[in-house]
A and B are shown apart, each in its own frame.
Chain A
C-alpha cells in the first residue's frame, strides 16, 4: 500500500474576490506525478504556494503525512515539501555552489559548522545538472537556463517528499527540458517522492505525469488519470480555444487549431 503524502480536503482559495479553487479535494500518494494545467491567471501558482504554506487559505485543510499543515513548524514543513519558483531574486552577490548548498537549510544541524555530507550532496547535484564548471561563478552572470538548472539542483538537494514545480521548463531549450525533467523525475522516483508540476505545456505534462488536475475556471476543476482528463473536449473548454490531438509513436500530442 502506497503512503499518502498530501491530502487536500475541501480547499477554497480566493484572490481579490475571485474564486480560484472551491471545495478542492485531492489525495496524492508516493511516486505519483501530477500535472497542474489551466489557462493564465486561473490559480496554478496560488495553489502551489498554498501547498507550500506561503499563502493563507480561505477554508479547508491540507494534510501532510496525516498532519494538518498549519500545525507543522516551518522547518519541518520544508523537509517534507519543496518548491521551484517561477522567478528568482538575486540582489546581493553569491556563487552557484553557495546557492545550491542553501537547499540543505532545513536539514542543517549545527549553527556554525558545515556538514561534509551536505557539501557532497551539493557537488553531486552540480554534477547532475551540468553546473560543475560554473560552480564558482556569481549568479548574476548566469543565463536564464543556467539559473533554472541551479534552482532545480537546489530543490533536489533539499530532497523533500513532495516536489512542487512551477513552470519547470522555463528558460530551458527543448533538449534541456527533456534532459532535466528526465533527471528530476528519476531523482524523485528514487526517493519515493511525488511531484506536482504546473505548466503551460500540455505535452510536457502528458509526457511526465500520470495524473492531471485541470483548473477550468470559477473554482471548478477536473482531476484524475491522464487519459481521462486530457481529452480534446476538456482541454478546449478549459483554455477556451479549440485544441486537437494526434497520435504519433505511441504518444498523444496536443496542439491548438
Chain B
C-alpha cells in the first residue's frame, strides 16, 4: 500500500542524493567552493578545478552512487528470495568468486581493466556454480540455495587466503583494498548504468510479487505467483546487480545488508517504494562514505568499505532503537 508518507520519503531521499553529490564534488585535496563548482559545471573553464571535477570527482561520485544503488537493491531482492533478514548481496558467494578473479589479476600484475573483468568473470562463474548445484540434486528449496551459496562462499574464502598468504606485500596491499571495497581506482561504464536502470525496471515490475513472496513460497504460489520462473529471474537479477557492483568497487560491505532494513524501519515495506528508495539511499550513502574515505586522513585514502561500516553501524542502531520505542 502506497501512502503520501512514501511519496515524502522518496522526495527526501532524492534531496539527500543531491546533497551527497554536492558534498562529494566539493571534497578532496583541491579546494573548490560552491561558486567554483557552478562555474565549472556551466562554463567548462580551462582550469585545474574543472579538470579535477570532470576527470576525477564526477566519475568517482557516479561510481560510488551506482555501486551503492546496485548493492542496496540486490540486498532487498536477496533478503526476499532467501526470506532471511541476514541475507546480503554476498551471501551466495558472488563476491568470493569475484575476489578470486580480481586477486588473481592483481597477482599477475595486470592492469585495472583486467582486474574488473576477471572479477566479473569470477562472479558469473560463482553464480552459475551455485545455481547449478542448488538445482541439480532434486528439488530446489531456499535452504538448499542458502547452504550451497554459503559453502561455495567458504570455498572461495580458502582460495582468497591462499592468494593473500602467497603474494608479495606490495600486491597484498592492493588485494586488501579490493577486498574491503575501494573506489579510488573506480570508474563507471555505461554498462553499469544500464544494469542499474534495468534492475530498477525489473524490481518495479516484480514489486507486487516481492510483496507476496515475503509470506513464503507456498502463500505466494497460492496467490497466483509463478514461483519457478520468479525465483530464477530474481536470483539472476540480484546476482548480476551484485556482480556489477563488485566489478566497480570490490566487495564494499554493509550497504546491501543495512540499507534495506533501514528503509523498512522507515516504513518503506512495500517494494514499489522500497526498490527505488534502496537505490537512492544506498547510492547516496556510499557517495557520502566515499567523500569521508578520501578526506578523513587526506592526502591518504581509506578503503570505502571501512567507512561504510563505521558510519553504518551507529546509524543502523539509532534507527533500530527509535523504531523499537514506537
Chain A residues within 8 Å of B, Cβ to Cβ: 52-54, 73-79, 82-83, 85, 88-95, 97-99, 101-103, 105-106, 108, 111-112, 114, 119, 158
Residue interface bits B66-87, CB-to-A below 8 A is 1, else 0: 0000000000000110011100
Measured in the bound complex, the distance between the Cα atoms of B207 and A105 in whole Å is 12
The interface residues of chain B lying within 8 Å CB-to-CB of A73 are 226
In the A-B complex, the 9 residue pairs with the smallest Cβ-Cβ separation, listed nearest first, are: A78-B224, A89-B216, A75-B224, A106-B224, A105-B223, A92-B214, A91-B83, A74-B226, A83-B222
Which residues of chain A have C-beta atoms less than 8 A from B83's C-beta? 89, 91-92
Complex alpha-carbon distance, A88 and B270, angstroms: 19
Chain B residues near A74: list those with CB within 8 A: 221, 224-226
Tell me, in angstroms, the Cα distance from A77 to B85 when the chains sit together: 31
B208 close to A105 (CB less than 8 A): yes
Residue in chain B with minimal CB distance to A92: B214
Q: A74-B225, A77-B224, A119-B1 are in contact. Are A102 and B211 (CB under 8 A)?
A: yes
A108 touches B215 (CB 8 A): no
B: interface residue count bin: 20 to 34
Q: A112-B272, A114-B2 are in contact. Are A54 and B222 (CB under 8 A)?
A: yes
Question: Is B219 in the interface zone, CB < 8 Å from A?
Answer: yes
Contact B204 A111 (CB under 8 A): yes
The answer to whether A94 touches B269, judged by C-beta atoms less than 8 angstroms apart, is yes
Q: Are B208's CB and A97's CB within 8 A?
A: no
| Contact (Cβ within 8 A) B205 A111 | yes
B231 interfacial contact with A, CB 8 Å: no
CA distance A111 to B210 in the complex (A): 12
Known: A101-B1, A105-B224. Is A89-B269 also a contact (CB below 8 A)?
no
Q: Which residues from A are CB-within-8-Å of B205?
A: 111
Quick one: which of A93, A98, A103, A112 contacts B223, CB cutoff 8 A?
A103
- In the complex, what distance in Å separates the CA atom of A90 from the CA atom of B269? 13
Instruction: List the B side residues contacting A78 at CB < 8 Å.
Output: 222-224
B218/A98 in contact, CB under 8 A? no
What distance in Å separates the Cβ of B322 from its nearest Cβ neighbour in chain A? 15
Considering the complex, which residues of chain B in the window 218-239 have a beta carbon less than 8 Å from any beta carbon of chain A? Answer: 218-219, 221-226
B264 within 8 A of A: yes
* Cβ contacts under 8 Å, A92 to chain B: 79-80, 83, 85, 214, 264, 269
12 pairs from A and B in contact (CB 8 Å cutoff): A73-B226, A78-B222, A85-B219, A88-B215, A89-B216, A92-B80, A93-B265, A98-B211, A102-B211, A102-B212, A112-B2, A119-B1
Query: Once bound together, how far apart are the Cα atoms of A99 and B215, in whole Å?
Result: 9
Q: Is the CB of B84 within 8 A of A91?
A: yes
Give B268 Cβ to nearest chain A Cβ, in Å: 11
Pairwise interchain contact B270-A105, C-beta atoms closer than 8 A: no
Please give me the residue from chain B that is nearest to A53 by CB atom.
B221
CB atoms of A93 and B272 under 8 A apart? no
Residues of B within 8 A of A101 (CB): 1
Give Cα A28 to B265, complex, Å. 46
Complex Cα distance, B227 from A66, in Å, reads 25
Most interface-central of B79, B84, B216 (chain A CB within 10 A): B216
On chain A, the residues within 8 Å of B79 by CB distance are 92
Most chain A beta-carbon neighbours within 10 Å: one of B1, B208, B224, B272 = B224
